[in-house]
């Protein structure tokens, strides 16, 4: 398995992982009609735009030519993410997903440790991420890697659904 920076050519693979992992991981946590309506083609077009236009740091895990996981990260996006660290800001893991067929194969571990190193190399001493309330599999994964729930919560209102998320944090350096 290889980790590398994502390119626009990875948009289809990232989208497939994104949609299939949502449909598997969020069953019972997100309305089923929302999960059923997710479109890999629409998500791929969105990812192609994101990767082409937005300065975004995204890594992909590839097995041969197939994208089996991805993670996006950078500076904190939330105003209340805590006090800036001594290097000017807290880092954030914006999203990390593995193809359901690749769950429990080490893909998530590879991506998470690479993101932690990237954030550390960028000068961040701390980082945070959001976990969908009720997603115990993800929460346990992060906790095994030293992340902990700090009591932070947010509500993400989207069309046809409201997501309640819990913040997990980690001291990186």
The whole-model pTM stands at 0.92
Residue 115 sits in which domain range? Answer: 2-171
Q: Which helix (H) or strand (E) holds 14?
A: helix 11-25
Task: Give the domain CATH number at 26.
Answer: 3.40.630.30
Residue 32 burial class via C-beta count within 10 angstroms: exposed 0-12, middle 13-18, buried 19 and up: exposed
Q: Which residue do the tokens 């006090």 mark? A: 83
pLDDT of residue 81: 61
pLDDT of residue 77: 87
For the chain, the domain total comes to 1
Write the pLDDT tens digit of every residue in 7-54.
Answer: 999 999 999 999 999 999 999 999 999 999 999 999 999 999 999 987
pLDDT of residue 8: 95
How far from 52 is each of 11, 55, 56, 122, 131, CA to CA, in Å?
Answer: 10, 8, 9, 22, 27
Write the pLDDT tens digit of every residue in 66-114.
Answer: 999 999 999 898 876 654 444 457 999 999 999 999 999 999 999 999 9
pLDDT of residue 89: 76
Residue 55 has pLDDT above 90, yes or no: no
The token duo for 28 is: 């019972």
């Amino acid at each position: 398995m290889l980790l590398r920076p994502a390119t626009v050519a990875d948009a289809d693979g990232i989208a497939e992982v994104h949609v299939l992992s949502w449909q598997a991981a969020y069953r019972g946590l997100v309305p089923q009609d929302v999960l059923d309506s997710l479109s890999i083609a629409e998500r791929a077009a969105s990812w192609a735009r994101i990767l082409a236009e937005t300065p975004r740091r995204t890594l992909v895990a590839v097995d041969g030519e197939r994208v089996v996981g991805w993670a996006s990260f950078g500076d904190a996006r939330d105003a209340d993410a805590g006090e800036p660290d001594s290097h000017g800001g807290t880092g954030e893991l914006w999203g990390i997903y593995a193809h359901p067929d690749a769950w429990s194969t080490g893909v998530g571990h590879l991506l998470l440790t690479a993101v932690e190193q990237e954030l550390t190399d960028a000068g961040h001493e701390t980082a945070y991420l959001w976990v969908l309330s009720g997603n115990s599999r993800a929460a346990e994964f992060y906790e095994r890697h030293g992340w902990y729930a700090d009591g932070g919560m947010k509500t993400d209102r989207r069309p046809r659904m409201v997501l309640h998320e819990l913040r997990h944090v980690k001291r990186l350096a």
